[in-house]
Chains A and B, each alone.
Chain A
Amino acid sequence: MTLTLILEQAFNGLQAGVTLFLVAAGLTLILGIMDVVFLAHGAQVMIGAYAAAAIAAATGNFYLGFLLAIPLTFASGYLLEFLLIRHLYRRDHMEQVLATFGLILFFNELIRIGFGPAALYSDLPPSLSGFVEILPGTPYPVYRLGVILVGLACAVAIHMFVSRTRIGAMVRAGANNPEMTAALGINIKILFRLIFATGACFAGVAGMMLGPITAVQPGMGEPLLILSLVVIIIGGIGSVRGAFIAAIIVGLVDTLGRVFLPAMLRLVVDQATADGAGPAVASMLVYIVMAVVLIFRPTGLFPAKG
């Protein structure tokens, strides 16, 4: 266990974290501003991945797939909000959970009918298949570095937008006090629609970036969804800054926990117990962290409301 290994794993954790952030950012805004438990956010990830993979396969160009899939995902989010989500604003959380759960089933089956149940073939473009030595003797995939950069760029962009623009101010106001914001005469309907579509877009970007490195199959977004829910809870609902910090924490904890926990346990208990308990505890780790945070800070680290 050398320093270089720890640093390399930290990079891996960072990459997992920024991917999570892209999904969590939209989710926290949707929940914080529109007070909608949108479980089908994972489906947005899937839609983005499929759009990019299908276009890339059809045109033979990865970048084209990426570029064209972005407006497609934005449009799908926009349409979804207009057709269904806006009817859920006044419902209570339980009903939203049920409706969006039904949406997950619907989208998964739709993709399964459209593209078949088998995973889609997708791979890295040759231009991004190389390695870069981030540390001496540690080649790191260029693509994953790219994911980190894109993720950080998106984070910066969202931050600038939310804190420096007028629309961003409206978004913040909406997160803090939706009723007052509407009372101030701001067209809350269009604002909500745009926020939803943008959130969907970022989730789609996460999916597009994951496509080449993981399996593009129905239901690929659900694991990300659960983890994102954990992230926004830890970070505090409605807070993009909270989502970012929590996403990095969760990414690091999950990654480092997975690889170092069994070894660390071996220092405390015997080998057999460590080997048995290690992976189990590692999978529970993120939930344990969330439970601990909630016990001491019942509304997360940086809640937007008060």
Chain B
Amino acid sequence: MKKVFTIAAMATAIAMAPAHAETVKIGYMTTLSGGAGIIGKQMQNAVELALEHKGGKLGGMDAEVIFVDDQRKPDVAKQLANRLVKSDRVDVVAGVIWSNLLMAVHKPVTRGGTLLISSNAGPSPIAGENCHENFFSMSWQNDQTPEAMGKYMQDAGIKSVYLMAPNYQAGKDMLSGFKRYYKGDIAGEVYTKLGQSDFQAELSALRAVAPETTMVFQPGGMGINFVKQWKQAGMDGVSKLYQVFSVDGVSLPALKESALGILGTMSWSPDLDNAINKKFVADYKAKYGGYPSFYAAQAYDTILAVDHAIATSGSKDTDKMRAVLAKGNIPTTRGLLKMNSNHFPIQNFYLRDTVQDADGVVTSKVVSTVFTDHADSYASSCKF
């Protein structure tokens, strides 16, 4: 009798004891050192903010994020990915700003059976023929944002556009994405040198053509230089400027008022009207002093996605998380995000203007919705 009682007591005690708290480990890879470190810094801030909002737990499990710095080098990125997967045994590898780095880590991570979630890069091979079911994008496919710009300008009846982008893969992808939806006259297509800082010569050439509109892709420091020089050369009187990825939360602090009135397209904006985004933007501003960029929003969404996957499936098992994420309807700063068959989001794209907020700080604001539930153009070539 005593034995049974003891066993029963022990069994009850075991059943009532709290389940051993599992930890979910995320390896978050961005560029923290070097020239583009500001982007990585914003993403790191956003990830930490997300963890704070979730009380340090994702899907009920304790969360541990290991931040690594890829130094913008593919071989360092690959080595870090290997370390995260083999040595730190993370459950998810996430982040990755640059397309070439994503291309370098994609195969080792996904083939090794670990989930890879991109917070930014979205090159077409990964969306199409080289896709893998363990990959998820919480950002966009590289072509989509310029496609939205092309559609807007086509629908707005703009007769001619002068295009400019740096001469590298992303630049070419941007302009080809644009031309997929814009069917008007291309007044010029100029590829500038990667890393170029002085655009005066290109602006002189542009003035000679005097196109109705100009659409540029000049990310990072190049965007700051370009917009500054555009305004200083008085080009607003010659042509109307549109842009993708050139005027955003990273470049606006350096551009300030000179960027006012420039239109662009993007899948997110700081003023998107949903509860998650409002809280994110307000808390980010309060904690880090300045508006978050889309990089930060996407990083924040990545953590939300992991939280959603674990909470819904009840475990951090790769197959279970994949099944949940593939279904979409992930709560993010862009609302409930839908997922395409190739694990890229199907989402809205907005036309944004650059304005001053109530405190006089320059930021982006949604003007209209260009695409509702827009899917990328490569999903059909993706077969898992």
Q: How far is the CA of A124 from the CA of B229 in the complex (A)?
A: 10
Using a CB-CB cutoff of 8 Å, which residues 207-256 of chain B contact chain A?
208, 221, 224-225, 228-229, 232-234, 250-251, 253-256
A278 touches B191 (CB 8 A): yes
Stretch at the interface among A70-78, A113-121, A229-237: A113-121
B202 touches A129 (CB 8 A): no
Assuming A121-B254, A141-B232, is B38 touching A275 (CB within 8 A)?
no
Digitize B258-283: 1 where CB-to-A-CB distance is under 8 Å, 0 elsewhere.
10000000000000000000000000
A16 touches B198 (CB 8 A): yes
Assuming A258-B193, A279-B167, A279-B191, is B205 touching A5 (CB within 8 A)?
yes
Using a CB-CB cutoff of 8 Å, which residues 234-292 of chain A contact chain B?
255-256, 258-259, 262, 275, 278-280, 282-283
Q: How far is the CA of A112 from the CA of B251 in the complex (A)?
A: 16
B254 touches A258 (CB 8 A): no
Stretch at the interface among A7-15, A90-98, A163-171: A7-15
Residue of A nearest to B209 (CB): A5
Name the residue among A117, A121, A144 with the largest chain B CB count within 10 angstroms. Answer: A117
Assuming A141-B233, A283-B193, is B221 touching A12 (CB within 8 A)?
no
Assuming A217-B35, A217-B221, is B200 touching A259 (CB within 8 A)?
no
CB-CB under 8 A from B229, the residues of chain A are 213-214
A215 within 8 A of B: yes
B368 within 8 A of A: no
A259 touches B204 (CB 8 A): yes
B314 within 8 A of A: no
CB-CB under 8 A from A118, the residues of chain B are 38, 250, 253-254
**Cβ contact of A9, chosen from B37, B190, B204, cutoff 8 A:** B204
CB-CB under 8 A from A262, the residues of chain B are 190-191
B228 touches A258 (CB 8 A): no
CB-CB under 8 A from B225, the residues of chain A are 213-215
Assuming A121-B254, A124-B232, A213-B228, is B201 touching A259 (CB within 8 A)?
yes
CB-CB under 8 A from B192, the residues of chain A are 258, 279
Residue of A nearest to B202 (CB): A259
A15 touches B232 (CB 8 A): no
B195 within 8 A of A: yes
B197 within 8 A of A: yes
B224 touches A119 (CB 8 A): yes
Q: How far is the CA of A11 from the CA of B200 in the complex (A)?
A: 10
A185 within 8 A of B: no
A131 within 8 A of B: yes
B41 within 8 A of A: yes
B201 touches A13 (CB 8 A): yes
9 A-B pairs with the lowest CB-CB distances in the bound complex, closest first: A279-B167, A279-B191, A119-B254, A215-B224, A117-B37, A117-B38, A215-B221, A214-B197, A5-B208
List 15 other contacts, CB 8 Å, given A262-B191, A275-B191, A280-B167: A5-B204, A12-B201, A118-B253, A119-B221, A141-B232, A141-B234, A213-B229, A215-B221, A215-B225, A218-B35, A219-B35, A258-B201, A262-B190, A279-B192, A279-B193
- Pairs across A and B, CB under 8 Å, 15 listed: A5-B208, A8-B208, A116-B38, A117-B37, A119-B254, A141-B232, A141-B234, A210-B197, A214-B224, A215-B254, A218-B35, A220-B197, A258-B192, A262-B191, A279-B191
